[in-house]
Amino acid sequence: MLPLLETDRLVLREIGERDFDAVHAYASDPEVVRHVPWGPNSPQDTLDFLAHCMLAAAAEERLDYVFGVELRDAPGLLGSVGLYVRNADEGQAMLGYAYARSAWGRGIASEAAREMVAMGFDVLGLRRIWAACDPENGASRRVLEKLGMRVEGLLREDTVIRGEVRDSLMWGILEREWRAASALETTNSSARSEG
Ligand SMILES: CC(C)(COP(=O)(O)OP(=O)(O)OC[C@H]1O[C@@H](n2cnc3c(N)ncnc32)[C@H](O)[C@@H]1OP(=O)(O)O)[C@@H](O)C(=O)NCCC(=O)NCCS
């Protein structure tokens, strides 16, 4: 059983059929999908995504953890964040996220991604979490950098985004790096509160 995933401002919760309108609104927005290989979603694409989230949540051995993100004090799904475990024995998962444009620039993606990475290491016992982004996706690069991820390489001509061949910038963080950064953050925040 997963713990309730909450941050100071956010609740991360399972996605279901009731989220169709909110998910479809952002996933069919050409600006939201500009740097990703999927979308803009048709209604069927969004139904398929919701079905995938629900099937994954019900699986006996869960691999994909895709959560809707809401503000605690203003319910309404703003976007989604997911950890996709491809091979449980290897202890690795891919991080991904997408949000409605109205949610951008408020630190929401970073806050939710941080909670997911913590869950990946603390609850799922992962060893490595990685992400891939379009090198031109400045906001996503910054989210990954703020998480403490490192650039591990550039896969040349790895992705096709609506007919355009693109490179993928690969990022990763190891469990021990996450722990070291968290310990440093705890030390710094106690020093701030004492000083
Ligand atoms: C990428 C995305 C999730 C970021 O969401 P967000 O809620 O705006 O993210 P945050 O506010 O937590 O952080 C964004 C950071 O990027 C910075 N940023 C925004 N646009 C930027 C740009 N064009 N270039 C560089 N940095 C940029 C912001 O200033 C902020 O950094 P700061 O906290 O140091 O000021 C959002 O833009 C999105 O949903 N995009 C569409 C889907 C997508 O591209 N998903 C990622 C696939 S890899």
**Domains observed in the chain:** 5-194 (3.40.630.30)
Task: For residue 3, name the pLDDT band (cuts at 50, 70, 90).
Answer: confident
CB of 103 within 6 A of ligand 1: the answer is yes
Rounded to 5 degrees, φ, ψ at 63 are -115, -40
Bond preceding residue 37 cis, omega within 30 of 0 = no
Q: How far is the CA of 193 from the centre of ligand 1 (A)?
A: 29
The arithmetic mean of pLDDT across residues 145-164, rounded, is 97
| 130 exposure class (CB count in 10 Å sphere: 0-12, 13-18, 19+) | middle
The pTM assigned to this predicted structure is 0.95
Predicted confidence (pLDDT) at residue 186 exceeds the cutoff of 90: no
CB of 104 within 6 A of ligand 1: the answer is yes
